[in-house]
């Protein structure tokens, strides 16, 4: 069962920052999850929220900032005494740090369809240029994003629907989106739904593994991987 550092290791270091990914690597993690948005200057940046308010000292929509302006923000929210400066990084900068990892999940955030039509080809080209297809799963909660991915890159090896997977309706959605993997909530997913996904030939990952109970649930569901904000704690619980 592979453990992924969620946004680096967001419970232990500034999330979705170069410093945070370096911290996670220094823990010995070889698998990571992070998020991408298209900035005002059409470059892909790594940030989770649609606004910069929660994670930086700025305010406003991500799409209203250029990548240079985002990089100049202080993204140490929650870790104000963290010793390293942290701006909002470019996707390429994050990949420079983590591309030697064994496995990555890159989440496409919800956005306007027209912007997704521009963001997704850029993401695919970056993954292709760096020869990372074999170890990158592209994930999203957004059906539109996954529909675009399936249309423009039907041969891409793996994409995944993120969701509760507490009813069979989720399996129907995943099938319609031609997902080869699902990523299910460890808090909400039901075993019979997970088993059906496997019967349909899908791989199964999990997210939200932040308590001993959720880690135990990951074991019960027999997920192949799951994300956690607290990799140090999870390693202790698993031991």
Reported as a pLDDT band with limits 50, 70 and 90, residue 137 is very high
Kindly report the CA angle at 208 between 141 and 111, in degrees rounded to 5?
20
pLDDT at 201: 97
Given a cut of 90, whether residue 225 has pLDDT beyond it is yes
Reported as a pLDDT band with limits 50, 70 and 90, residue 27 is very high
Given a cut of 90, whether residue 239 has pLDDT beyond it is no
Distance of alpha carbon 57 from its chain centroid, rounded?
Answer: 23
pLDDT at 85: 81
Quick count: other Cβ atoms within 10 Å of Cβ 22?
15
**3-class state of residue 160 by DSSP:** strand
Q: pLDDT tens digit string along 6-24?
A: 999 999 999 999 999 999 9
Q: pLDDT tens digit string along 38-65?
A: 999 999 999 999 999 999 999 999 999 9
- Domains in the chain and their CATH numbers? 2-238 (3.20.20.190)
Q: pLDDT tens digit string along 61-117?
A: 999 999 999 999 999 998 988 998 899 999 999 999 999 999 999 999 999 999 999
Q: What's the whole-number average pLDDT of the chain?
A: 97
Q: pLDDT tens digit string along 123-132?
A: 999 999 999 9
Please list, in sequence order, all residues whose beta carbon lies within 8 angstroms of the beta carbon of residue 153, skipping any fewer than 6 positions away.
120, 124
User: Long-range CB contacts (< 8 A, 24+ apart) of 115-122?
Assistant: 115/38, 115/63, 116/142, 116/144, 116/145, 116/148, 117/148, 118/38, 118/42, 119/36, 119/37, 119/38, 119/44, 120/145, 120/148, 120/149, 120/152, 120/153, 121/152, 122/38, 122/42, 122/44
pLDDT at 227: 98
CA distance 135 to 212: 28
Reported as a pLDDT band with limits 50, 70 and 90, residue 238 is confident
pLDDT at 45: 98
Structure tokens that stand for 156 in this block? 């891409």
pLDDT at 75: 97
């Amino acid at each position: 069962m592979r453990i992924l550092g969620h946004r680096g290791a967001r419970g232990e270091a500034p999330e979705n920052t170069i410093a945070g990914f370096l911290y996670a690597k220094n823990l010995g993690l070889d698998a990571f999850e992070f998020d991408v948005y298209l900035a005002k200057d059409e470059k892909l940046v790594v940030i989770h929220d649609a606004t910069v308010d929660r994670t930086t000292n700025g305010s406003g929509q991500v799409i209203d900032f250029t990548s240079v302006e985002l990089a100049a923000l202080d993204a140490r929210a929650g870790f104000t005494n963290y010793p390293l400066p942290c701006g909002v990084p470019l996707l390429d900068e994050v990949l420079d740090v983590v591309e030697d990892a064994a496995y990555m999940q890159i989440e496409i955030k919800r956005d306007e369809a027209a912007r997704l039509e521009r963001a997704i080809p850029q993401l695919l080209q970056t993954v292709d240029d760096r020869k990372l297809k074999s170890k990158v799963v592209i994930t999203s909660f957004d059906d539109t994003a996954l529909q675009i991915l399936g249309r423009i890159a039907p041969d891409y090896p793996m994409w995944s629907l993120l969701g509760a997977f507490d009813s069979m309706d989720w399996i129907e959605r995943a099938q319609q989106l031609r997902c080869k993997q699902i990523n299910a909530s460890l808090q909400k997913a039901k075993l019979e739904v997970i088993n059906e996904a496997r019967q349909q030939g899908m791989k199964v990952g999990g997210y939200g593994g932040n308590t001993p109970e959720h880690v135990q649930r990951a074991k019960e569901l027999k997920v192949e991987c799951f994300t956690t904000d607290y990799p140090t704690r999870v390693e202790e619980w698993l031991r």
